[in-house]
Amino acid sequence: MMWKRVTPAGGFWGLLTGSVSSVAMFLLVKFHHSMLAYIALSSDAKDMAENMYRALWSWLICVIVTVSVSYFTKPKPVEELTGLVYGCTELPSEGDLPLWKRPIFWAVISAVLFLILQWIFW
């Protein structure tokens, strides 16, 4: 969705290797607790830290495999990606819209409400 060079094969193999690597790291730590020092970079890491590091490693593996496989396979023509990929889609103009119909207006309102709630419940 963000890079027009990614191919279907790259996306498939990246997703598959990322998912399999996550399961493999989980099982590796489950059966060999000493491997936690390599995955979470600490032998004393708590469960949440292990989960975050495992997600990071899986994401990195997914991205590396996706990019690598995409570079070795033929990309789809730009015409087929129009409307699907950010770089191939023309963004609509907001020039004639009133202020309350623009996304930036609602983003600012949401941010202000979030800050007010944060201040009230802190």
For the entire predicted model, the pTM comes to 0.73
pLDDT number for residue 108: 97
- State both tokens at 54: 């495992």
Half-sphere exposure of 52 (CA within 13 A, CB side): 7
Give the pLDDT score at 52. 96
What is the per-residue pLDDT for 16?
98
Separation of alpha carbons 23 and 55, rounded Å: 10
Q: What is the pLDDT of residue 18?
A: 97
**74: region left, alpha or beta (phi > 0 left; psi from -120 to 50 alpha):** beta
Measured distance CA(66)–CA(2) in Å, rounded: 13
pLDDT at residue 90, rounded to an integer:
84
Positions of the chain with pLDDT lower than 50, given as ranges: none
